[in-house]
């Protein structure tokens, strides 16, 4: 089979699962729904592997193919096909999405066991995987946008999965609306692109983009960046991600850590030619990433919900990826995306095991000393934490450092500011990561743990531990795909699609590695000093961090309340009078007209006769005059 056939199989396999589960309804057992969903994603993964293997046999220049099934939408000269693009970048993403996705769906079978709406859950999960695959495989920008919107929809459905919790529903709506803002700017960029180039096919649009004016390019890139920022929870559209933790934990792992939130990075890499032509916007992306990574790291320091800490850490890590692709080190950004998918999914799933064992409790102040009770979970969590903190030889070390090195290569005031922010981030990462490790697994066991921990249940069934184990292996080994000064597996694979615009030297790599490892260890050390040596029970309260820099309050005052007020004012001043008033107005007008004309009716025959005669005279005069 060619890579094109397998790509189509990869794309539609989860969609078939959605349809089967939706139509089957109660005819399937709950477990069967989980198996169908997992099987379909596993099939996708297998197809992606076959596609990858087939492409390996081809020359690097001959690895990009576009296959169109039918014209999806058209008007006049505009034609948008339903097509898949099979090239190194999309296959890379297909592998990540279906691979990590398959593991997480498998884990869900154990995690969601006993929920009375499991079938709905698995239908949504398969729907998400389909949407994400459409996003990365779509052969033109309108399909990318379609996948973009559908992953937002799946995310909405899954965040609000427990729909009787008001907080979950509010979080789901917030996520959807913030993403809709990104969708809107994305769409505006596409309108501009269509108006100027008349196409949304990647190749054609990029080649025509060279002839566009700088203003147009900047506007297009800004629109795309708006979409990327909203989807990837970067400043200033980031407030939805922490709230999204209301969803089931596997959802957080799949959507809000491994795949969907990294779509912004994919978008920037995919539309790299446009961003390169609008370098101001590309720098903006890098700067937003750098600021986000520090800010999210600071907020993560004071969060008390285990999932929210990891969520802020996700924002921070995506900040690194934005920094990477913003600087033009596309392969580094994508490489960090890959390793992050492993170690962050691992952290979430391990956290899920903890939450599962503690009857749904997520507050780390009620945890502590779990190391003894859950040794396997502790081990894999530690692997994830070391990887996140960038400690060699775990994968985060290999993927984060090239990004930091790229800031040095960029140089100049901009580059060095980015460098400082990035290494500041590594320090914060070490600090909040190990704060979490020490609070949850070390120290004294909280009384709450003794009361709720279900010793019979233990660390969960095999279907939960197996994916966690595989992810732990991935988090440990994935870094070796690319070793500075050694080999460049990811870079050379992605070279044909997204050639980097800067090359780092070995010296820069070395400096970046040493500085970041030292700072990461320093952060971990300080965490040890605070939480183990001094046994501080809770983090110090810093209002700015606890209030998350007041973004929620700001948006509430800036958008939500004005919208509500506008609606009320419009209703009172326009709609009420228009609807209620027009009826009364019409009645009044008709009555007035009647009274007015009634007065003409004097009842005096001679008045009528006079009027007749006078009108006749006037008419006669008019006719004579006109002639």
Partner 1 sequence: MANGWLTDTLILLPLGGAIFIALAPLSRLAAGLLALAVSLVEIAFWGGALTSYRFDQNIPFVQLEDRTTWFGELGISYHVGFTGPALWLTGMAAVTMTAAIAYAVWVRREHARAYFASMLLLTTAVVGVFVAQDYLLFYVFWEAMLIPLYVLVGVWGGPGRLRATLMFFIYTMAGSLLMLTSIIVLGISRGTFDIVEGGVSNSDWIFLGFVAAFVVKAPIFPFHAWLPVAYREAPAEVAGVLSGVVSKAAAYGFLYIAILHFPHPTHDFRTPILVLAAIGLIYGSVLAFRAPDLRGVVAYSSLAQLGLITFGLFATNLAGFNGAVLQMVNHGLISVGLFMLVGLVELRTGTGKLDRLGGMARGRPALATVLMTLGIIALAVPGSSAFAGEFMILTGVFTSGWGWSVVGAIAIVLAAMYMLRLISAVLHRSKGSAVDDDARDLRLPELAFILPLVACLIVLSAWPAAVTDHNLDVVNAFPALERFVP
Partner 2 sequence: MKGPDVTWYLGVAAFMFATGALGVLLRRSPLIVLLSLELMLNGANLALIAFSRLHGGGAGQIFALSVMAVAASEVVVGLGLIVAMARRNLTLDVDKLTWLRG
Cβ atoms of 481 and 331 closer than 8 Å: no
Q: How far is the CB of 560 from partner 2 (least distance, A)?
A: 58
Give the Cα separation of 100 and 241 in Å (integer). 20
Give the Cα separation of 275 and 222 in Å (integer). 9
Considering the complex, state which of residue 33 and residue 349 has its C-beta at the smaller distance from partner 1: 33
Considering the complex, state which of residue 572 and residue 620 has its C-beta at the smaller distance from partner 2: 620
Partner whose binding site includes residue 147, from partner 1, partner 2, none (CB under 5 to 8 Å by kind): partner 1
Partner whose binding site includes residue 603, from partner 1, partner 2, none (CB under 5 to 8 Å by kind): partner 2
Burial class of 117 by CB neighbour count within 10 A (0 to 12, 13 to 18, 19+): middle
Name the one residue in this structure whose structure tokens are 């269509």: 194
Told to check if 366 binds partner 1 by CB under 8 A, we report no
Considering the complex, state which of residue 557 and residue 612 has its C-beta at the smaller distance from partner 2: 612
Considering the complex, state which of residue 207 and residue 607 has its C-beta at the smaller distance from partner 2: 607
Angle at 191 between CA 188 and CA 195, to 5 degrees: 145
Give the Cα separation of 557 and 590 in Å (integer). 46
Q: How far is the CB of 374 from partner 1 (least distance, A)?
A: 33
Told to check if 624 binds partner 2 by CB under 8 A, we report no
Give the H or E element holding residue 64.
Answer: none
Told to check if 601 binds partner 2 by CB under 8 A, we report yes
Partner whose binding site includes residue 185, from partner 2, partner 1, none (CB under 5 to 8 Å by kind): partner 1
Residues 541-570 binding partner 1 (CB under 8 A) are 563-564, 566-568, 570
Partner whose binding site includes residue 522, from partner 1, partner 2, none (CB under 5 to 8 Å by kind): none
Cβ atoms of 7 and 137 closer than 8 Å: yes
Burial track 56-90 (b if 16+ CB lie within 10 A, e otherwise):
eeeeeeebbbbbeeeeeeeeeeeebbbbbbbbbbb
Pick from 113, 120, 442, 445 the residue near partner 1 by CB under 8 A.
Answer: 120
Considering the complex, state which of residue 184 and residue 463 has its C-beta at the smaller distance from partner 1: 184
Told to check if 208 binds partner 1 by CB under 8 A, we report no
Per-residue string for binding with partner 2, 578-597, x by CB under 8 A?
-------------------x
Give the Cα separation of 319 and 268 in Å (integer). 13
The gap from C-alpha 590 to its chain's centroid, in whole angstroms, comes to 59
Nearest of 430, 429, 394, 411 to residue 508 by alpha carbon: 411
Cβ atoms of 102 and 44 closer than 8 Å: yes
Cβ atoms of 55 and 228 closer than 8 Å: no
Told to check if 201 binds partner 1 by CB under 8 A, we report no
Stretch that binds partner 2, among 45-53, 150-158, 494-502, 606-614 (CB under 8 A): 606-614
Told to check if 541 binds partner 2 by CB under 8 A, we report no
Residues 414-443 binding partner 1 (CB under 8 A) are none
Pick from 134, 218, 228, 437 the residue near partner 1 by CB under 8 A.
Answer: 134
Partner whose binding site includes residue 609, from partner 2, partner 1, none (CB under 5 to 8 Å by kind): partner 2
How many secondary structure helices (H) and strands (E) does the chain include?
28, 2
Q: How far is the CB of 156 from partner 1 (least distance, A)?
A: 8
- Kindly report the number of other CB atoms within 10 A of residue 294's CB atom: 18
| 3-class DSSP string for 283-316 | HHHHHHHHHHHHHHHHHHCCCCEHHHHHHHHHHH
Nearest of 182, 210, 214, 184 to residue 197 by alpha carbon: 210
Nearest of 97, 83, 95, 89 to residue 125 by alpha carbon: 97
Q: Residues in contact with partner 2, total (CB under 8 A)? A: 13
* DSSP states of 76-112: TTEEEEEEEEESHHHHHHHHHHHHHHHHHHHHHHHHT
* DSSP β-bridge partners for residue 488: 482
Per-residue string for binding with partner 1, 58-87, x by CB under 8 A?
------------xxxxxxxxx---x-----
Partner whose binding site includes residue 579, from partner 2, partner 1, none (CB under 5 to 8 Å by kind): partner 1
Told to check if 142 binds partner 1 by CB under 8 A, we report yes
Considering the complex, state which of residue 224 and residue 408 has its C-beta at the smaller distance from partner 1: 224
Give the Cα separation of 367 and 354 in Å (integer). 9
Told to check if 600 binds partner 2 by CB under 8 A, we report yes
Q: How far is the CB of 363 from partner 1 (least distance, A)?
A: 23
How close are the terminal C-alpha atoms of the chain, in Å? 91
Burial class of 424 by CB neighbour count within 10 A (0 to 12, 13 to 18, 19+): middle
Partner whose binding site includes residue 600, from partner 1, partner 2, none (CB under 5 to 8 Å by kind): partner 2
Pick from 61, 76, 485, 598 the residue near partner 2 by CB under 8 A.
Answer: 598
Pick from 603, 623, 625, 626 the residue near partner 2 by CB under 8 A.
Answer: 603
Told to check if 152 binds partner 1 by CB under 8 A, we report yes
Chain residues in the site for partner 2 (CB under 8 A):
597-606, 609-610, 613
Chain residues in the site for partner 1 (CB under 8 A):
22, 25, 70-78, 82, 120, 131, 134, 142, 145-150, 152-153, 156-157, 160, 163-164, 166, 169, 172-173, 176-177, 180-181, 183-185, 187-188, 190-192, 194-195, 563-564, 566-568, 570-571, 574-575, 578-579, 582-583, 586
């Amino acid at each position: 089979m060619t890579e094109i056939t397998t790509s189509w199989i990869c794309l539609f396999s989860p969609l078939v699962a959605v349809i089967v589960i939706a139509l089957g309804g109660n005819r399937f057992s709950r477990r069967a729904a989980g198996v169908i969903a997992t099987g379909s994603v596993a099939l996708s993964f297998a197809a992606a592997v076959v596609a990858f293997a087939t492409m390996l046999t081809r020359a690097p220049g001959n690895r990009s193919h576009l296959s169109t099934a039918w014209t999806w939408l058209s008007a006049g000269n505009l034609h948008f096909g339903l097509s898949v693009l099979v090239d190194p970048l999309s296959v890379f993403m297909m592998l990540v999405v279906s691979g990590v996705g398959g593991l997480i769906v498998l884990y869900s079978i154990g995690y969601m066991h006993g929920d009375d709406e499991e079938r709905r859950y698995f239908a949504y999960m398969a729907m998400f995987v389909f949407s994400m695959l459409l996003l990365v495989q779509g052969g033109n920008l309108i399909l990318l946008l379609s996948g973009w919107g559908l992953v937002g929809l799946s995310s909405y459905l899954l965040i609000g999965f427990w729909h009787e919790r008001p907080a979950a529903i509010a979080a789901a709506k917030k996520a959807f609306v913030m993403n809709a803002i990104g969708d809107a700017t994305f769409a505006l960029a596409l309108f501009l692109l269509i108006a100027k180039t008349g196409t949304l096919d990647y190749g054609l649009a990029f080649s025509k983009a060279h002839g566009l004016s700088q203003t147009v390019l900047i506007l297009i890139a800004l629109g795309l960046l708006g979409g990327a920022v909203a989807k990837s929870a970067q400043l200033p559209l980031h407030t939805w991600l922490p709230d999204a933790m209301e969803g089931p934990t596997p959802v957080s792992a799949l959507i809000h850590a491994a795949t969907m939130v990294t779509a912004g990075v994919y978008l920037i890499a995919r539309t790299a030619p446009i961003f390169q032509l609008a370098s101001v916007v590309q720098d903006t992306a890098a700067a937003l990433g750098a600021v986000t990574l520090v800010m999210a790291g600071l907020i993560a320091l004071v969060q008390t919900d285990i999932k929210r800490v990891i969520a802020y850490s996700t924002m921070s890590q995506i900040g690194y990826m934005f920094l990477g692709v913003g600087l033009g080190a596309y392969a580094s950004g994508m490489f960090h995306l890959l390793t992050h998918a492993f170690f962050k999914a691992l952290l979430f799933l391990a956290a899920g095991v903890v939450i599962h064992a503690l009857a749904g409790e997520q507050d780390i102040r009620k945890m502590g000393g779990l190391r003894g009770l859950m040794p396997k979970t502790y081990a894999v969590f530690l692997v994830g934490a070391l990887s996140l903190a960038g400690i060699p030889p775990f994968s985060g070390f290999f993927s984060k450092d090239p990004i930091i090195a790229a800031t040095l290569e960029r140089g100049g005031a901009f580059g060095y500011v980015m460098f400082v922010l990035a290494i500041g981030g590594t320090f914060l990462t070490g600090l909040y990561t190990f704060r979490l490790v020490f609070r949850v697994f070390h120290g004294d066991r909280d009384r709450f743990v003794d009361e709720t921990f279900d010793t019979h249940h233990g660390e969960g069934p095999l279907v939960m531990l197996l994916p966690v184990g595989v992810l732990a292996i991935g988090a440990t080994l994935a870094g070796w795909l690319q070793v500075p000064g050694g080999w460049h597996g990811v870079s050379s694979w992605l070279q044909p699609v997204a050639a980097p615009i800067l090359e780092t030297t070995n010296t820069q790599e070395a400096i970046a590695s040493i500085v970041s490892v030292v700072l990461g260890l320093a952060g971990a050390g300080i965490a040890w000093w605070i939480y183990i040596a001094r046994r501080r029970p809770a983090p110090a309260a810093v209002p700015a961090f606890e209030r998350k820099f007041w973004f929620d309050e700001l948006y509430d005052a800036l958008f939500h309340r004005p919208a509500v007020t506008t609606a009320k004012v419009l209703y009172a001043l326009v709609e009420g009078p228009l609807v209620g008033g027009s009826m009364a107005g019409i009645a009044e007008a008709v009555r007035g007209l009647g009274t007015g004309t009634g007065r003409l009716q004097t009842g005096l025959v001679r008045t009528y006769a006079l009027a007749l005669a006078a009108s006749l005279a006037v008419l006669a005069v008019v006719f004579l005059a006109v002639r």
